[in-house]
Chains A and B, each alone.
Chain A
């Protein structure tokens, strides 16, 4: 089977970023950092046209869960591409871009934009959460 994330690796090279691979029997996975923040990319062996790019962040202690849900909902309405999801049991918030592509090569010219919107979503989420509390 061809590696669906090969051209995503090329996009990371274009961006001048280091990355590491951690594939297993279920999925192709890439981990990387940009400006010190951690991101992941995943594609599943049984669904290679699906690609997810994301980042996970810890929620600050003592935040009101409903405030966080409200902020996430507002971002989901307003932001292109990015899905903001709360994982309250783990006290985490996840920002993901989920794509359906014929080949991962389609992602390469847009990768910088997708990374920017992921980054901006996280910044806006925490800024809005601070202003809510």
Chain B
């Protein structure tokens, strides 16, 4: 019987994607599979102790000018509330965030048949969060410009 890692690896490769796979951690049974789709690298974590549980993650870089940590943390909380099952973690001093979806199914086949749908959910939530961060930052900049010019004394 092949390992959970092997089965998921063969599935993703069979779907057309090259996969970079880490060996199984003997202590936890966890391994990580990396693949690209639509220009974005995704990480899939499998667990030999539970074939019906996977975690799918991808990282998004936050534009340098939009790295306002407290505001971005609020944005991620708000987007999380809207996209329920996708969790976000700010990393690397707020220069990027990771979007993660954990999915428990009744079988590995069920995970495979829903796989691209799950990837799409992570991607949609992540893209939405980036747009929200950029949009709020731009709105804030525009508002500040307006306030500053409004507050300037008449010439």
- State the A residues within 8 Å of B (CB): 15-18, 32-36, 112, 115-116
Contacts and interface: CB of A to CB of B under 8 A. Distances in A.
Nearest to A115: B38
Given A33-B16, A34-B17, A15 B116 contact: no
B37 A16 contact: yes
A34 B37 contact: yes
A18 B37 contact: no
Nearest to A17: B16
B39 A18 contact: no
9 closest A-B pairs by CB: A33-B16, A16-B36, A36-B15, A16-B18, A112-B39, A35-B116, A34-B16, A17-B16, A18-B16
Given A35-B37, A112-B38, A17 B116 contact: no
Contacts of A34: 15-17, 37
Report which residue of B16, B36, B116 has the largest number of chain A beta carbons within 10 angstroms of its beta carbon: B16
Contacts of A33: 15-16
A16 to B, nearest CB: 3
B116 A36 contact: yes
Contact of A16 (B14, B35, B119): B35
Given A16-B36, A35-B116, 11 more contacts: A15-B36, A16-B18, A17-B17, A17-B18, A18-B13, A33-B15, A34-B15, A35-B37, A36-B14, A36-B15, A36-B16
Nearest to B13: A18
B39 A35 contact: no
Contacts of B13: 18
B112 to A, nearest CB: 10
Given A35-B116, A36-B116, A16 B17 contact: yes
Nearest to A38: B16
Contacts of A35: 15-17, 37, 116, 119
B39 A32 contact: no
A113 to B, nearest CB: 9
A11 B110 CA distance: 32
7 contacts: A15-B36, A16-B35, A16-B37, A18-B13, A18-B17, A36-B15, A112-B38
